[in-house]
């Protein structure tokens, strides 16, 4: 399909009539002055109705073939910009509405703009495109403008189709009808609420067509309920009139056709009893009811009442049908959007129930049946419920090596993670001062011993006793120094692994008596500490078994057994948890203290649906209880 070019030339349009002859080729019609006038009038009305419109263009061509060239431009005499032409070409190629935000340029006004285009399709064949250039709009407003352009294009499509069947209709009359319908569309769109839009539309119709009353009703249950009357915002004291108008609308909907009373010909087979009663009892002489439908589903009706003795002509009836067909879907969308949320939910539920229990919709029914079967299975089937918690591996016994005296680090031979044997030297402290002190006391003892011998030889008993005591004091001091020198070596208390402590980078640094230098844990005796969330704490009891998966070995499952529950909670990172201790049945050799992972404790059989939903159910219960008065 070619997109053609946008040069202002005469256009040849091929229009497929609604009832083509079986052997005839599609009718080819040169762009008549009437169609030219209708296009210009339509574009003028459309650009006037849409606030902020700067330029507009309609491009037409041979259906599905092109080339598509401008037929009408607004303002008259102007040419479409390059950006507007590109947007129109995009709508033609995609066969759907296009909204493009134009980049700022050196325009004389300097206003940012949007280009919006919508294709014109007749009986599935692409006839052309309508495009406008408007001032920059928010996203919601862009969609509204595109929708108005779409609704206007539907009317133009109808006018083009009629041109292929009825060449004798006047262009001026068509332009007047077009203007009226576009004003009705504008009245319906510009109102935010349904009631205001419906009242404005029926009042505008009654004024334009010089009718006594125009009524709008929608199906409510099994009957039609009147929602809007022309020139009336309230219905108080008019219940009898509303019932009879509703009966007339029901009559038209039951027959699924337009009902005109009195009928234009005696051969008409339509039943119009309710219409006759409405005309006799409420002053109207002619009544016409047009059903409203969308997506092949009837949802309401519009009733037109004319005073005097003038019946409804065929042209007026057709205009009423066209106005109802174009404005009705807009009002139906507004009515649905203007309902209470609960009403929308019930309506959606009823719609889906209709799809479920009605005919067709095999895929939807299959999905629903599968979901129901799945929920039923999960409600009956049971599985093992497991409480999951973060876990850390710790040694059952953890010993510390401390500094025996104040001193300085002389040597250090191990680091965290090193495996050590019992009695292995971990580090040594500087012992020079102690050795000098021992030399001092040793020399002093030798001197005292010499004096003791001399006193003994001279039989000085009192002096002998004093010297003996001083010698014993020296011996005690030397023994103390020997003990202190022995403790300058930090030894491993048992076979294990260094958990913490690294003195290799602090040689020569001072240490104080009692300062922790190393932490040592055994290699073959571990405990697992699990942080269980407070929501699952009540399910855990002593003796339950489970599994542990460590981050270092995720494919390996280690058996654990709960052997201690600490009933004291700890708050961390916005959550509350309890510490549960568990023992390992057969710890492998590659385990090391400090490893982390995930543990799962088996707490018993539960229904599968409960296992997957109990968290959110418990949260809802707590939330409701907190807010319940």
Is 41 part of any domain? yes
In the chain, count of helices (H) and strands (E)? 13, 26
Q: For the domain that residue 574 is a member of, what is the CATH number? A: 2.40.30.170
pLDDT of amino acid 322: 84
Verify that 61 and 163 share a domain, yes or no: yes
- Contact call for residues 566 and 586 (beta carbons, < 8 A): no
Distance CA 627, CA 614 (A): 20
pLDDT, tens digit, for every residue of 302-323? 999 987 667 788 888 888 888 8
In the DSSP assignment, the letter for residue 538 is G
For the stretch 376-399, pLDDT in tens is 998 899 999 999 999 998 887 777
Contacts by 463-467 with C-beta closer than 8 Å and gap 24+?
A: none
Look at residues 398, 393, 417 and name the one whose alpha carbon lies nearest to residue 556: 393
- How many domains does the chain fold into? 4
Domain boundary among 126, 156, 190: 190
Please name every residue paired with 100 in a beta bridge, in sequence order, or none if there are none. 115
* Coil/strand/helix, residue 569: strand
- Tell me the CATH number at 451: 2.40.50.100
Same domain, 403 and 417: yes
CA proximity to 32, closest of 169, 158, 132? 169
| Region of poorest pLDDT, from 92-96, 160-164, 459-463 | 160-164
- Is 344 inside a domain boundary? no
Q: Do 247 and 134 have their domain in common?
A: no
| DSSP single-letter state for residue 414 | -
Q: Does one domain contain both 465 and 579?
A: no
pLDDT at 265: 67
Query: Which H or E element spans position 600?
Result: strand 596-607
Quick: pLDDT tens for 458-475: 888 888 888 889 888 988
Among 279-283, 468-472, 549-553, whose mean pLDDT is lowest?
A: 279-283
Please name the residue that has the structure tokens 């929608």. 218
Judged against a pLDDT cut of 90, whether residue 217 lies above it is answered with yes
- What CATH number has the domain bearing residue 209? 3.30.450.40
Phi, psi of 58 (to 5 degrees): -120, 125
Q: Does some domain include residue 379?
A: no
* Whether 501 and 545 share a structural domain: no
Q: What is the dihedral of CA 239, 241, 247, 252, to 10 degrees?
A: -140
Q: What are 105-158's pLDDT values in tens digits? A: 544 456 788 888 988 887 778 888 888 888 887 776 777 777 777 777 777 766
Same domain (yes/no): 215, 164: no
383 occurs within a structural domain: no
Say yes or no: 58 and 165 in one domain: yes
Mean pLDDT, the chain, rounded, equals 81
Is residue 374 assigned to a domain? no
User: Would 572 be classed as within a structural domain?
Assistant: yes
| Last residue within a domain, chosen from 495, 519, 543 | 519
Residue-range definition of the domain harbouring residue 468: 399-519
Same domain? For 157 and 204 the reply is: no
Do 539 and 416 fall within a single domain? no
pLDDT computed for residue 26 by the predictor: 33
Q: Which of 606, 602, 605, 599 lies closest to 545 in space, CA to CA?
A: 602
For tokens 């004003």, what's the residue? 183
pLDDT at 83 over 80: yes
Q: Note the pLDDT of residue 506.
A: 81
3 state SS for 470-536: HHHHHHHHHHHHHHHHHCCEEECCCCEEEEECCCCCCCCCEECCCCEEEEEECCCCEEEEEEEECCC
Assess whether 114 and 55 both reside in one domain. yes
Q: For residues 137 and 239, state if they share a domain.
A: no
Instruction: Examine the domain organization and report whether 138 and 205 are in the same domain.
Output: no
Is 627 within a domain?
Answer: no
Indicate whether 363 belongs to any domain.
no
So what's the pLDDT on residue 106? 45
Of 339, 371, 387, the one marking the end of a domain is 339
Q: What pLDDT sits at residue 389?
A: 92
Q: Which residue has the tokens 């073959």?
A: 524
Residue 557 sits at the vertex; the CA angle it makes with 553 and 563, to the nearest 5 degrees, is 115
For position 159, what pLDDT does the model report? 65
Give the three-class secondary structure for 544.
coil
- How high is the pLDDT of residue 600? 93
């Amino acid at each position: 399909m070619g997109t053609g070019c946008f040069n202002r030339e005469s256009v040849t349009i091929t229009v497929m009539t609604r009832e083509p002859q079986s052997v005839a080729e599609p009718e080819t019609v040169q762009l008549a002055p009437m169609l030219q006038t209708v296009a210009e009038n339509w574009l003028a009305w459309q650009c006037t109705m849409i606030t902020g419109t700067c330029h507009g263009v309609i491009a037409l061509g041979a259906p599905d073939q092109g080339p598509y060239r401008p037929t009408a431009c607004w303002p008259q005499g102007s040419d479409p910009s390059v950006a507007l032409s590109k947007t129109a070409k995009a709508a033609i190629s995609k066969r759907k509405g296009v909204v493009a935000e134009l980049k700022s340029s050196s325009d004389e006004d300097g206003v940012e703009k949007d280009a919006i285009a919508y294709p014109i399709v007749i009986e599935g064949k692409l006839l052309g495109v309508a495009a406008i250039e408007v001032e920059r709009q928010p996203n919601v407003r862009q969609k509204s403008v595109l929708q108005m352009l779409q609704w206007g294009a539907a009317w133009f499509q109808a006018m083009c189709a009629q041109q292929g069947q009825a060449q004798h209709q006047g262009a001026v009359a068509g332009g007047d009808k077009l203007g009226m319908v576009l004003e009705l569309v504008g009245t319906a769109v510009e109102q935010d609420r349904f009631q205001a839009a419906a009242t404005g539309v029926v009042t505008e119709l009654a004024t334009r067509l010089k009718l006594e009353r125009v009524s709008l009703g929608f199906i409510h249950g099994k009957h039609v309920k009147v929602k809007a009357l022309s020139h009336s915002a309230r219905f108080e004291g008019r219940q009898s009139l509303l019932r009879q108008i509703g009966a007339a609308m029901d009559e038209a909907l039951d027959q699924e056709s337009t009902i005109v009373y009195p009928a234009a010909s005696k051969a008409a087979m339509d039943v119009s009893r309710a219409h006759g009663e409405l005309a006799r009892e409420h002053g109207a002489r002619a009544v016409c009811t047009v059903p409203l439908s969308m997506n092949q589903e009837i949802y309401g009706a519009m009733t037109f009442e004319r005073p005097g003795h003038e019946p409804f002509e065929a042209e007026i009836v057709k205009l009423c049908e066209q106005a109802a067909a174009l404005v009705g879907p807009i009002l139906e969308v507004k009515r649905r959007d203007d309902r209470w949320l609960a009403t929308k939910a019930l309506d959606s539920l009823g719609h889906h129930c209709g799809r479920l229990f009605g005919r067709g919709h095999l895929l939807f029914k299959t999905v629903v049946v599968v979901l129901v079967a799945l929920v039923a299975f999960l409600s009956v089937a049971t599985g093992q419920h497991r409480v999951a918690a973060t876990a850390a591996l710790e040694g059952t016994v953890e010993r510390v090596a401390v500094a025996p005296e104040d001193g300085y680090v002389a040597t250090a031979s191990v680091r965290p993670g090193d495996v050590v044997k019992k009695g292995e030297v971990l580090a040594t402290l500087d012992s020079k001062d102690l050795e000098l002190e021992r030399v001092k006391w040793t020399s002093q003892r030798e001197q005292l011993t010499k004096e003791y011998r001399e006193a003994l030889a001279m039989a000085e008993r009192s002096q002998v006793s004093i010297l003996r005591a001083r010698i014993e004091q020296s011996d005690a001091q030397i023994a103390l120094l020997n003990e202190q020198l022995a403790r300058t070596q930090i030894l491993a208390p048992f076979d294990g692994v260094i958990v913490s402590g690294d003195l290799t980078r602090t040689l020569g640094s001072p240490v104080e008596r009692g300062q922790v230098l190393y932490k040592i844990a055994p290699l073959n005796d571990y405990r697992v500490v699990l942080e269980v969330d407070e929501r699952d704490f009540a399910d855990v009891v002593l003796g339950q078994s489970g599994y542990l998966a460590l981050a270092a070995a995720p494919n390996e499952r280690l058996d654990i057994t709960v052997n201690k529950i600490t009933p004291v909670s700890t708050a961390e990172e916005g959550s509350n948890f309890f510490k549960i201790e568990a023992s390992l049945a057969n710890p492998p050799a590659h385990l090391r203290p400090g490893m982390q992972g995930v543990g799962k404790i088996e707490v018993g059989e539960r229904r599968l649906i409960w296992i997957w939903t109990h968290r959110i159910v418990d949260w809802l219960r707590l939330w409701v209880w907190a807010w319940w008065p």
